[in-house]
Amino acid sequence: MVDLHAHPVLAPPRASLTRGSAANRPGLLAYALLLVACAPSTPRESVANGVAWPARDVSNDRGDSPSSRGEVAENEVELGAWTTLSSEGGGAAVVVGEQTIAVGRGGHAVIWDGVRRVASVTGTSISPGRPRVVGGRVAWGPNLLALDAGTLESLKAAEPLHMPMDRGDVVRTYAWSGDGAWLARSVSTHGGSARVTLHDGATGQEIVTAWAGSDLAPEALWVGPRWLAIGVRQPRVVDLEGRELATIDFGGTPLSHLEANLDERWLIGVELNHAIALIDTSNWAVVARWAGPWADAAIAPDGAAIVGLELGGKLRLACVDSGRLRELDTLTTIVGAVTVQLGAVDIAVVGSGEVRRASLRVACRGASGSSAMSVSATR
């Protein structure tokens, strides 16, 4: 294992312990995916019993769990069998209990309960951005999907005005706050500039311009409890009235993804094909950097672990120990994967028309020596 302190680059993982068998994002990720050969596969639905296995590099392009077994206490990682469902064109997903919800930028969403497809909805709004669970609803783009009723509400006031001859603003991404009170929107304008605005989460009405500039409209936003992180070339943090709080010293290119854990103590930023930053939101310092050909990343709700997704589909795991990153082994490789998400009990990966979900147990041990992340088995 490799310990990463403040700012050194995390070394690649050690060689695999054992051998085993082996949606699309716009913007910065689009050109990188041209480097990856990912022939579409037919979506399938299957459930198998989870098995404990040592962390290792597996190059099965289907992402199936290997059959060999190991001890979690020794190897620190247990990945269950993958359940594979259709994403119906969605490029990102969230898990809520036994439900899996895949969403797309075109406003379409599909809800799975286990392996049973229970509903799908399609709105009229262009909806770039990651989904976020807000109470009993899934919010993405200007949309709010009620999970109990399977109904979709769109906040039309949060959409840019349609102008003739393509003279209106073009949405780059949306991002919701965890309580649903705020919706952030990034747009590029007809004149070549860009803006980030904050909107009322109940009405969609614009409240304040949080950032404006002549650079590319940012693809990465995260709305915290009292702040908004903006993934421009020099990432900025502003309060919910648009006043600047901090500048984050990380990289020189726009970020492709920002995400915080549940209590929003830790924020991760993804610099496409370069590095993942772990940011302490108490002082906005980059406390660790993880180098790699990254396409995406996710942080566990309790902040104990990070999964990085490489452009080629390899999923790598690291523990967060008191502000340091400690890399474990590669989980598996899923060719064509474009986004990854960690829930309280599962990992979900989306790509090539599929969303895959599996149980994950990670024995990340901090200074106290207690297990920091324990994920139960899939149904």
| Domain assignment present for 379 | no
Using pLDDT thresholds of 50, 70 and 90, give the confidence band for residue 375.
very low
pLDDT higher than 90, residue 352: yes
- Provide the number of structural domains found in the chain: 1
pLDDT higher than 90, residue 163: no
The average pLDDT across 311-323 equals 94
Contact 171, 128 (CB under 8 A): yes
Contact 219, 186 (CB under 8 A): yes
From first CA to last CA, the distance across the chain in angstroms is 32
Share of residues in the chain with pLDDT > 90 (%): 64
Tokens of 289: 């950097």
CA 215/CA 372 separation, integer angstroms? 40
| Domain assignment present for 231 | yes
DSSP string, 331-349: EEE-TTEEEEEE-SSEEEE
CA 328/CA 308 separation, integer angstroms? 11
Alpha-carbon distances of 304 from 39, 79, 194, 342, rounded to whole Å = 34, 16, 35, 11
In this structure, what CATH number is given to the domain that contains residue 118? 2.130.10.10
| Domain assignment present for 378 | no
In 3D, which of 373, 357, 282, 266 has the Cα closest to residue 290? 266
186 lies in which domain range?
2-373
Tokens of 357: 């979900």
Whole-prediction pTM: 0.79
* Residue with the two structure tokens 């200007």: 142
Alpha-carbon distances of 359 from 60, 77, 274, 333, 350, rounded to whole Å = 18, 11, 28, 16, 15
Whole-number pLDDT of residue 28 = 46
Using pLDDT thresholds of 50, 70 and 90, give the confidence band for residue 364.
confident
pLDDT higher than 90, residue 212: yes
- Long-range own/partner contacts, residues 36-41 (CB < 8 A, 24 or more apart): 36/311, 36/312, 36/313, 36/335, 36/336, 37/335, 38/313, 38/335, 38/336, 38/351, 38/352, 39/336, 40/336, 40/352, 40/353, 41/336, 41/352, 41/353, 41/354
Tokens of 97: 């209990």
| Domain assignment present for 367 | yes
Whole-number pLDDT of residue 195 = 96
The average pLDDT across 25-44 equals 42
CA 78/CA 73 separation, integer angstroms? 9
* Residue with the two structure tokens 């094909």: 273
Whole-number pLDDT of residue 164 = 66
